[in-house]
Chain A
């Protein structure tokens, strides 16, 4: 009985310990946040202690351009930088979401700018402070793309926008206007060969036409996008939609390039030399060259109304993770990675075009046909909206375009429908 009494005693102690644990945490938490806040304050005022290492997540196959930059950074500041390659489209964001909070994430990441709004809302990135001197080295639109709600969340690394790519064997020179392209295509297209192809059932590419004719996604007011002012069914947008429909209705675009799997069909045709020209992004250059096509690249031809296509511009940027403990040095690294020297190295090694103004004049870009075309087209391009509401636009817009392409809907009705759906979706999924 004695034995059991001692055992009972032990048990009671265990139970008591267990109960005591509950509120203990609440006492400690406020202090820990305080600590964190004071820490960050200290960081911004003076140069904080150097971390042992920083971790960077780079886009797939792009680290060749990162290596020299981090080598020189290490040399300059004595901070070791490690990197890992991750797919940028979705993996980077997903892993930041999961790894960041658990402390295994990177300090510096790269993201396409149209994800910034969403990622910031989720609290995955932090605002960075950079001197105006640094900012002025980049093109204005590229910097705008890195801002959300008026705050800067990164520095631009590279821009891309669709351009006009042609097969020199089939089309000796790039036409100036879409009307010329249209005439050419009418002669050339016979159901097996095509004069000009574009994924205009995909809003990313169609935006060039629709916005060029006068449509817009979100109106910009004082540097912020107004989610309540959508211009997808105004006169210009409908004119653009009509223009798009014409290409499909007259059989210049085959039905086989419509829909999710259509892009690959289009690429395949071009690489077999069956297509004289396409609208595509700079990421497609390499595959085409690999397929043995002698390509020429130019800015998109002007639309029938005389305007340039307002293609969507994508800006990839370097950002500082919200979870880093070394904000100061991460920001320094971002500045370092995007400075003129490293931007130039990046272009040489990966052909990604940095929006560094001094480089656009540099012979290295000015003499490169592809880069020059992208730089030229970028002048007319608009950055994709980076507010989270944009997520509601892609789907309905693509549906409208697809019904236009298949001739199931009239331009006005299709665009009206799309607008209605987008507005309902925004109201439902993005309250306030």
Chain B
């Protein structure tokens, strides 16, 4: 009997906690969503459930004659997708090398990767800028993508290596016995087993460019090349209060693709992150 009442209490307390947590998480997000449907412009006048909801802010964002938002959105998608592909490729390859081979400089390489992500680098923006200028990559998406991919390598390689370490080495060895080459082992045996961590890396490297505005603001000069992060930031920095609802609409549109990606990867995601993050 006591067991049963205990269970009921435990479960109801759990649900209560989760409910509260969910509300706290959802509330600001709902509020943004609500704001984006508000007819007014200002922050102070917005309400979560507007009386006369309107799509006008979305319309104004998608009004291609007066707003570059659609262009920026496409730019962001393009940059994020390409970054994702290249980051996954280079991280997978690098992580594999660190996990499977013993070579000179391995340990120091790993340590370097770890240390690199701890150095705040905004003082170095000028260096990145001049480098881009010297290589004619300024104001190009290619330059920006290279920087994003490079920036994704340290942390994600670490995760990737951690995950690959959990895949038994015997698999490689038996494949090698059968005469499979390095590339084949990597491509046909290890990669299919690494889907979860690949999902994680893909997601991380997709999100980073999508939310970044600092690097993109420095690298991109022409308005038609802007990413959404930059465009949105410029909107805010100019007149946050006046354009708040438009900003909210823009934010909602940023969050949507990421959320969808998140939810569709969620299955892989948790297992990938765990194994990757823990063994490293």
Contacts and interface: CB of A to CB of B under 8 A. Distances in A.
Interface of A: 87, 95, 98, 102, 256, 261, 263-269, 271-272, 287, 291
A265 B241 contact: yes
A256 B234 CA distance: 23
B40 interface: yes
Contact of B240 (A264, A269, A287, A291): A264
Interface in B224-247: 234, 239-242, 244
Given A98-B126, A291-B41, A268 B242 contact: yes
Interface string B28-51: 000000000000111111000000
Contact of B239 (A269, A272, A287): A287
10 contacts: A98-B126, A264-B42, A266-B241, A267-B42, A268-B41, A268-B44, A268-B45, A269-B42, A272-B44, A287-B242
B74 interface: no
Interface in B70-127: 126
Nearest to A268: B42
Interface residues of B, number: 17
B129 A264 contact: no
Q: Interface of chain A, helix or strand or loop or mixed?
A: helix
B171 interface: no
A264 B244 contact: yes
A272 B40 contact: yes
Nearest to A90: B237
A263 B241 contact: yes
B238 to A, nearest CB: 9
B259 interface: no
Contact of B241 (A87, A98, A102, A267): A267
* Of listed A265, A267, A269, A291, residue having the most chain B CB within 10 A: A267
B17 interface: no
Q: Which 3 A-B pairs have the closest CB atoms?
A: A264-B241, A268-B42, A264-B240
A264 B239 contact: yes
B140 to A, nearest CB: 14
Interface string B150-188: 000000000000000000000000000000000000000
B239 to A, nearest CB: 7
B239 A267 contact: yes
Contacts of B129: 98
A136 B221 CA distance: 38
A267 B221 CA distance: 29
